[in-house]
Amino acid sequence: MMQAREVNFDGLIGPTHNYAGLSPGNLASATNAGGVSKPKAAALQGLAKMNTLRSLGLTQGVLPPQQRPDLSALRAIGFSGSDEQLLRDAHESDPTLLAAIWSASSMWAANAATVSPSADCADGRVHLTPANLISNYHRSLEHPTTTRALRMIFSDASKFVVHDPLPQQMRYADEGAANHIRFASSHGEPGVEMFVFGFDREDPAGGARRFPSRQTRAACEAIARRHLLDPARVVYTRQHPDAIDAGVFHNDVIATGNEGVFLFHEQAFATSRSLVTDIAGPLGQPLKLIEAQDGDFTLEDAVSSYIFNSQIVTRPQGGMTLIAPLESQENERVGAFVERVVHDDRNPIDAVNYLDVRESMRNGGGPACLRLRVVLTDEELAATNQGVILDDALSDRLTAWIEKHYPDELSANDLLDPKLARSLTDALDELTQILDLPGLYPFQR
Ligand code: SUG
């Protein structure tokens, strides 16, 4: 049996974290638009989450934030002049454009890429496809730096393939691992990869009506082909359009899984029952299903509590822990459901850890949004850039760096400040030394 572990790479929350209401169909983002954010507190909450996972004995990685404001994005669409003028002109043309180029949205690393472990890929390498994120302009700015960062972290071509993002066209709209769940008897064994899409060209009428779908079936199929997955061990399934219309803009807001466990709401998928058989068949063993019924809690409870955006992690000594957002404990029905799950011997989840990631939650990003799962063998982990693997020393350096450079608060007016923009460049320059990612950012080249 192949030994491998899941390493979670969390997006380090960037110093420009703010609430701009940029994501239609993401209810938290819309509700908190225009609010005052707390970037320093946000980043420390994210780091505390990473350290909680480490305290369970798990290996934890860090993905760097991106260079924001992205003034080159403004120049690309015809704005010119000094930094101050760029910011002012962009604001006058459209305040949401200004907010977009400041967004710290790369923190939601579940959208950074789709990852297939080497046990699933015909060439025995780990395959990663950075997501093009073309459904929202502010997120479409992420993939060049994401691709570069992943190539600097997983640089050994004998073990890793970091593909280019899919074509920048709606037909291939891709949001990464947020719409992907891998099942396996254990992390190191060959798995069954489930790809979830919202929109299918073959069935255009079957889509959501109120809010946009962000992932196409064609994108899912392209990733499975590139990653050299065995077609008999790949499952495609459509999100329930009612779920998207209730605010489930990514599948990881309504379903999750770990090894043989599948946790989902009965309204997550267009076809739940046949889906379970389609996964269990090639897996060669029954799934441990945890299905929340409407009677347990509603779709609305799921979206407001973000319970399905928990991480289910396998502890090295055995057993599984649910890493859940505090908001799900605060919802009486959801909290009671979690208690039942933890005490039910028919599934391996035997502990819950409620975490405060409220700053990210207010933009629709829970614990699972903040991390990219990468299953690695010992050799693959050894070949990974060790500068981004969290230990006490790195955690201390990151804490000091955050304390030194991050604003306590950020509101819409601050986004017009060219001095803030310049000071952040110095901060990121320092960060590339801390994480051993020299030359990551465009301004360093
Ligand atoms: O793409 N929010 C992100 C949240 C992503 C959550 N990720 C997962 N579910 N995996 C999004 O909608 C809001 C930014 C703002 O409005 O300021 C935002 O981009």
pLDDT of residue 202: 77
Specify the CATH number for the domain of residue 233.
Answer: 3.75.10.20
Taking only the tens place, the pLDDT of each residue in 64-85 is: 999 999 999 999 999 999 999 9
Selection from 278, 286, 273, 294 nearest residue 347 by Cα: 286
Q: Is the overall model pTM greater than 0.95, yes or no?
A: yes
Whether residue 399 has pLDDT greater than 70: yes
pLDDT of residue 240: 95
Spacing, Cα 348 to ligand 1 middle (Å):
30
How many structural domains are present in the chain? 1
Range of 263's domain? Answer: 4-444
The end-to-end CA distance of the chain, in Å, is 44
Please work out whether the CB of residue 105 comes within 6 Å of at least one atom of ligand 1: yes
Share of the chain above pLDDT 90, in %: 96
pLDDT of residue 179: 98
For residues 215-223, average pLDDT: 97
Taking only the tens place, the pLDDT of each residue in 164-212 is: 999 999 999 999 999 999 999 999 999 999 999 999 887 776 777 899 9
Whether residue 1 has pLDDT greater than 70: no
What does the alpha-carbon distance between residue 107 and residue 134 come to, in Å, rounded to a whole number?
A: 17
Spacing, Cα 184 to ligand 1 middle (Å):
28
Q: What residues are annotated to the active site?
A: 175, 250, 369
pLDDT of residue 162: 99
Beta-sheet pairing, 5-11 with 60-63: parallel
Spacing, Cα 28 to ligand 1 middle (Å):
9
For residues 278-291, average pLDDT: 96
Q: What is the 3-state secondary structure (H, E, C) of the chain?
A: CCCCEEEEEEECCCCCCCCCCCCCCCHHHHHCCCCCECHHHHHHHHHHHHHHHHHCCCCEEEECCCCCCCHHHHHHCCCCCCHHHHHHHHHHHCHHHHHHHHCCHHHCHHHCEEEECHHHECCCCEEEEECCCCCCHHHHCCHHHHHHHHHHHCCCCCCEEECCCCCCCHHHCCCHHHHEEEECCCCCCCCEEEEEECECCCCHHHCCCCCCCCCEHHHHHHHHHHCCECHHHEEEEEECHHHHHCCCCCHHHCEEEECCEEEEECCCECCHHHHHHHHHHHHCCCCEEEEECCCCCCHHHHHHHCHHHCEEEECCCCCEEEEEEHHHHHCHHHHHHHHHHHHCCCCCEEEEEEECCHHHHCCCCCCCCCEEEEEECHHHHHCCCHHHECCHHHHHHHHHHHHHHCCCCECHHHHHCHHHHHHHHHHHHHHHHHCCCCCCCHHHC
Please work out whether the CB of residue 359 comes within 6 Å of at least one atom of ligand 1: no
